[in-house]
Structure 1
Amino acid sequence: MPGKVSPDDLLAHVFGRTGEADESVLQGPAYGEDAAAIAVPEGTLVVSSDPISLAASEVGILGVHIACNDVATSGADPRWLTVVLMLPEPDEAILESITRDLDEAAADLGATIVGGHTEYVDALERPLLSLTAMGVGEFVPTGGATPGDRVLLTKAAGIEGTAILAADFGDELGIDSEVLERAEASLSELSVVPDARVLREYATAMHDPTEGGVVAGLYELAHASGVRLEVDREVIPIREETRQLCDAAGVDPLRIFGSGALLATVPEDDVDAALADLEEAGLEAAEIGVVLEGEPALRIGDEAIDEPVEDALYPLWADADAEE
């Protein structure tokens, strides 16, 4: 089954194998952290890499936003990108479509694609895209949440997953065309760069809920910070088109790809100011939980989450591949 490598395997085989130690590395590989931070003369260079392989539609747009979001949620403005693009076969139309989307999405964020690699790999069944994003700023970790902080979520749960469901499975789910149109329009809301620019002035920690959705993002934030999170499921914003698509597909909207939303922990005294600034910037947000002392743990309503979360869309792709 596709998905992230387990925290235990990362600890055993990845995090300790980073070559020569370098004192300029302020944040290296760690569970739940969105990006690395490196001290440079201009400040702190924030770097993040992310692949995207399963979404078939508008993969270039998704790829740029996923990579740049991780830099933004770590406190920097994304400025530079490298792109590795592998295609299953020579197809000029697909190459044209993906690179056009890469160009437009990067330009929209004010970022520049500075290099990369492109090739054809016949072992692939669909395009594989991997991007590295970089920017300079003041680093904000995932692991900075402090007991007493409040947990904020911008926009809503499952924005990216909603767009993917509509684009990849919409024809099979029997959903009204107007709902599908709104869901597909979610693709234009995947950037959390504006959200992060507001919240980095207040946040002790920020995290981008991607694979596994809001639940996975909260779990990773709790474990990175060494804290206990108590979250009220009933106040987590979920849009109507997300609910309808998830109900039709039989998946939990809190467990589908969540790019487009930003999780942040903010000191209690700063919550009102942070929410007001987000509203002034035209961004919806909600206070959804609290940070408590204790062993790393996550509780959402009556549900205790005690292991990493698999994204609910993976089985749908597996079933679609099996039927082909």
Structure 2
Amino acid sequence: MVKFSNAFIEREVFKMLGVRDNSVTLGPGIGEDAAVIRINNSYMAVHTDPVTGSSNLLGWLAVHVAANDIATRGIRPRWFLVTLILPVDYGENDVVNIMRQINDALIEINASLVGGHTEKSDAVTRPIAVTTAIGIGSRFIRTGGLRTGDVIVMTKYAALEATAVLVSDFRGRLMNVLSEGEFKEATSLYRMVSVVNDALAAAEYATSMHDPTEGGVLQGLLEMAYSSGKLIIINEDNIPVLPVTRRVLNAFNLNPLTVLSSGSLLIGVGENDAAKLIGKLRDMGINASIIGKVTDGEPGVVVKGRSGEQFFRGDLTIPDGVIEMWLSGNTSEGSKA
């Protein structure tokens, strides 16, 4: 999936949204993970997302990617609808394999599939899943809620999703790079792509939450900065990256800050609450660390690295190297899940 620029979406798409509805508490916005609709004294979070790249992990990612966007509102995802559009050479066994992944992912987060659609079409050459996720809560958190003086806490590690996808869909190109043990470790990372537990635990302290997907941690930070009207300053050395992830990404000359990163959660939190939040997450077995701070300035992200610092404007769209590889069609394992 290649996204249109945020500037285009904001300039053209957001002006064509139908009639105004006063029940819509939070509608479309750059970086805002889910719409929020007020129903009596509760808030319903709704989100839809496609998975258009990974074939081998399609069902698993279809649930977790959408679930994460509800959870970043501080609301538990409960109900899902999935549309599957499959190439014409797919058979019933292929559908069963995808549905098995969907079922396993739903069980993991204690959620239900309540509807959807399945078809084969000559319009696609790879399977596509489009998922709608829904949850209801008593309050919600915005992506655009950062305050001056907040710090940015990140859970787990950058590029977990990219690592798992690359060893699944491009395994042949890594045969001479990874040991058997490293293959096993990298393959298992798909089990870490959910941030539902991270987000629900962080909701007590968070001023803002966002899960980085396409474009990685950097894109996620840019969207937080842009939607909040703030400048985020991060130290690249503080962003945790697993050694096996570095080995996998180095084989494709990819940057861990700019590739698929479902599994990590970016949290804005007051500096005085950061230690409590990190302690709570670590008690749950979730790695968490401070990677940067929020200040006033032109909305965007300053990345401080060993070779200096670089400013990225908040409205930039970061190209994702893994998605570009999918678009080339040069996978090593074929197209079926």
TM-score above 0.5, yes or no: yes
| CA-to-aligned-CA distance 1:238-283 (integer Å, 9 cap, x gap) | 0011000011111001111000000010001101110111111111
Greater CA drift, 145-154 or 52-61: 52-61
**Matches of 2:145 and 2:47 in 1, distance apart?**
18
Q: Secondary structure at the match of 1:314?
A: helix
What residue number does 1:243 align with?
A: 246
Q: Secondary structure at the match of 1:67?
A: helix
What residue number does 1:164 align with?
A: 165
What residue number does 1:286 align with?
A: 289
**Matches of 1:43 and 1:319 in 2, distance apart?**
45
**Matches of 2:254 and 2:5 in 1, distance apart?**
22
Q: Identity, % of aligned pairs?
A: 37
Taking the TM superposition and a 5 Å limit, the aligned residue runs for 1:244-283 are 244-283=247-286
CA contact (8 A) 1:42 1:136 kept: no
| CA-to-aligned-CA distance 1:149-169 (integer Å, 9 cap, x gap) | 000000010011110011011
For the structure 1 residues 295 and 188, does the alpha-carbon distance in structure 2 shift closer, same or farther, using more than 3 Å as the test? Answer: same
Greater CA drift, 8-17 or 190-199: 8-17
> TM-score, normalising length from structure 1?
0.97
**Matches of 2:57 and 2:222 in 1, distance apart?**
28
Amino acid in structure 1 at the alignment position of 2:242: R
Taking the TM superposition and a 5 Å limit, the aligned residue runs for 1:48-87 are 48-87=47-86
Greater CA drift, 169-178 or 56-65: 169-178
Of the candidates 202, 205, 209, which is equivalent to residue 202 of structure 1?
A: 205
Q: Secondary structure at the match of 1:60?
A: helix
What residue number does 2:196 align with?
A: 193
CA contact (8 A) 1:255 1:309 kept: yes
Q: Displacement of 1:226 after TM fit?
A: 0.5
What residue number does 1:108 align with?
A: 108
Q: Secondary structure at the match of 2:221?
A: helix
CA contact (8 A) 1:216 1:308 kept: yes
What residue number does 2:328 align with?
A: 319
What residue number does 1:28 align with?
A: 27
**Matches of 1:134 and 1:38 in 2, distance apart?**
11
Runs of 4+ in 1 over 6 A off after TM superposition: none
Alpha-carbon RMSD across the aligned residues, in angstroms, is: 1.4
Amino acid in structure 2 at the alignment position of 1:319: S
**Matches of 1:143 and 1:101 in 2, distance apart?**
33
Q: Displacement of 1:13 after TM fit?
A: 2.4
CA contact (8 A) 2:217 2:257 kept: yes
**Matches of 1:227 and 1:3 in 2, distance apart?**
26
| CA-to-aligned-CA distance 1:207-239 (integer Å, 9 cap, x gap) | 010011101100111001100000000010000
Q: Displacement of 1:41 after TM fit?
A: 2.4
For structure 2, the residue ranges without an aligned partner over 5 or more in a row are: none
**Matches of 1:127 and 1:318 in 2, distance apart?**
13
Greater CA drift, 75-84 or 37-46: 37-46
Aligned length: 323
**Matches of 1:68 and 1:318 in 2, distance apart?**
25
